[in-house]
Amino acid sequence: MIVRELPWLAGVDAGSASITTGRVAVGGWLVSPTGPDGSTVRLGDRIARVHWERGTKAVPGVPADWPSWVWRAEIDIEQPVGLEATVTAPDGTVLSRVAVWPESTFRTPASLGEIDFPAADAELAGDLVVVSGWLLLDGRLPSRIEVEVDGATPQRARLMLPRPDVTQNLPGQIRQAGLSGYEARVPLPLAPGERRKVSLRVRAWTRDGREWTSPVRYATLRRRAVDQRDAEAAARASAFTEELLGRVKAAVDTDHVLVVTHSLRVGGGQFWLSELLRHLAGSHGHKVTLVSPEDGPLRAELEELGVTVHVTGHHRVQDATQYAAYVGELAMLATASGAGVALVNTLGMFAGVEAAKRAGLPVAWVIHESFSLEDFAYLNWGMDGLDPLVRERWESCLADADTLLFVADATREMFLPWSRPRRCVTVRYGIDLVPVQQAQYATKEEVRRELGLPEAATVLLNIGVSEPRKGQAPLLLAFEQIRATHPDAHLVIVGTHESPYCDALRDYVEAAGLAGSVSLVPICRDPRQWLRAADLFVNSSDIESLPRSILEAMAFGVPVVAADVFGTREIVSDGESGWLFLPNDLSALTVGLLRALDTPPEDRARIAGRARAGVGAFLDSAHYGQEFSTILKSLARGNATEERDA
């Protein structure tokens, strides 16, 4: 049994403050392993009179079984003025510091910001409402923002997006202004040609729980209608290539796999595919032909494995006729290749699914992404950028694919409405364990010296291409908060590159004086040394299916703190094999870090051991190589997934 050493945590309820002529009174809460004795509350520069009571309600973001106390502090004053309420632990550590104000102003935080998009009464194209802007509450970043659009579930906004324009234009120096941006994307499915007026508003919360709500704003959505002339032209293009397909002949090899993927550049989906093809083309004896619209460094690796690589260039999904022509050409290539089965990688490569089906090949389609179709279309092709006829074919491909393969059950559940349950299969992927074993020969101290990390520090590691959805900016701010109680902590973020987001990360590290405690490391193909050096791994992404980096951390025996999203919760059990926190919530992230850091090292090691044992059945990538080989051979020989599972 793991015995937890509870942290000291505190909060100030600014909404309960009473500031009048003659007296200031404010309340709050405390989590303490030994009770409130020795703790102090200062109001301004004076130690307050404090009344303590044992808490009877759960503290938001804190496990319900942790002992808590509520307090009420008072001082006498002559004039009602705003001041800071500071809660201090017996050893002098500041646990919480919040500004409180006279009753005329304390209940709603002072807001500074704009909803940049959509403008009031805007006409929007598509079936996705994108709401973006910037916001500061009492001069600080909100802990959480939600966007409400009528007819849809409230959507948590992605926080702390770079806004250098705000920094340049705000009077005075507000350090957090450069990360004050936010964005939420709310799907509202519409039929082609449908028009709908909606209302929207933004709600935000400060770290002490006070709420601010924007005025209601209206916008009208309109999805593009089908152009009959485009439909006829696309039909003619399909008929022409269908006629040509009848002239293409090739002997079919059931062990030959045609792979259609989105890119050969560096990325998670590409690494997954490279590892899979190493097994398929190696120990399982498959011949592989790969088609990609985008070249990249992985091409050389694949060709060394004996994979035939063909780069086509990008196809257009904005024009139904050009899309139909591309599918026809790809179908002819599929037929001429002699492959017996097609493996399509990523949600956006549906053209490969349609082409393979037209060529008469059975198709296994791997969907890594946990996005709605509306959201994915916006991110890849812009607002209403997908031709409605092409969108219809995309949806048909989900129904027509012989097998849909997912890396997490949560993603599978998301796509079940588009297919049949027995066609939807979860195959969790693994990693190559040989490099992990090789990395263990060096001690943690040796690796830290080589990397230039402080040997005695508690190293928190984040790995992933730095971008808003990966949440490195909120992680920086949460890390800044926990340094008050953990001054020996050191944060390493691996995955920076040249981008406005990474520029904002660098600027904040410098402005906050964190340069000695934070290392920003460029994208690294082989992160083994960093994992060997780490004490905790933090995954702060707000959307993930099954993060490879978490599996790598578990393989190295590094305990994991992660956002509770999709497949992550399937491999991390909160408090047992790691720590989970709510995504897009700065306070929850901060508490998650504190829970992990306040757990003794020997207990963290036991938690990491449980995590590795929990994923042991599939951690080695050989398992998914075998499972994919079985699925592909079964499809090539005419056994559909439904029949195989029956």
Tens of pLDDT along 124-153?
999 999 999 999 998 889 999 999 998 788
**9-106 with 228-429+624-645: one CATH topology?**
no
The pLDDT > 70 percentage for the chain reads 94
Tokens of 201: 């508003």
Length of the chain: 646
Give me the pLDDT at residue 644, please: 30
Q: Which amino acid is at 182?
A: Y
Place 267 in a pLDDT band, splitting at 50, 70 and 90.
confident
Average pLDDT, the chain: 89
Q: 228-429+624-645: which CATH topology?
A: Rossmann fold (3.40.50)
Q: Which of 110, 164, 144 is nearest to 508 (CA)?
A: 164
Q: What are the phi and psi torsion angles at 86 (to 5°)?
A: -125, 125
Residue-wise pLDDT tens digits, 577-594? 999 999 999 999 999 999
The Cα–Cα gap between 105 and 82 comes to 9
The H-or-E segment that residue 221 falls in is: strand 217-222
108 DSSP 8-state letter:
S
The pLDDT > 90 percentage for the chain reads 65
pLDDT at position 81 over 70? no
The distance of Cα 405 from the centroid of its chain, to the nearest Å, equals 20
Instruction: Decide: residue 545, CB within 10 A, 0-12 exposed, 13-18 middle, 19+ buried.
Output: buried
pLDDT at position 501 over 60? yes
Half-sphere exposure (Cβ direction) of 441: Cα atoms closer than 13 Å? 5
Name the least confident of 79-88, 189-198, 470-479: 79-88
Query: In terms of DSSP bridges, do strands 560-563 and 579-581 run parallel, antiparallel, or are they unpaired?
Result: parallel
Provide the residue ranges of all domains of the chain, joining segments of one domain with +. 9-106, 111-222, 228-429+624-645, 433-619
Strand ordering across the sheet containing 9-20? 9-20, 23-31, 68-75, 49-54
**CB distance 641 to 422 below 8 Å:** yes
CATH (residue range 111-222): 2.60.40.650
Q: 9-106: which CATH topology?
A: Immunoglobulin-like (2.60.40)
Place 173 in a pLDDT band, splitting at 50, 70 and 90.
low
Q: What is the mean pLDDT of residues 306-324?
A: 91
The Cα–Cα gap between 530 and 462 comes to 9
Residue-wise pLDDT tens digits, 181-206? 999 999 998 999 999 999 999 999 98
Residue-wise pLDDT tens digits, 530-545? 999 999 999 999 988 8
Single pTM value for the model = 0.79
CATH (residue range 433-619): 3.40.50.2000
Give me the pLDDT at residue 1, please: 35
Place 165 in a pLDDT band, splitting at 50, 70 and 90.
very high
Give me the pLDDT at residue 641, please: 44
Name the least confident of 141-145, 205-209, 411-415: 205-209
Give me the pLDDT at residue 102, please: 62
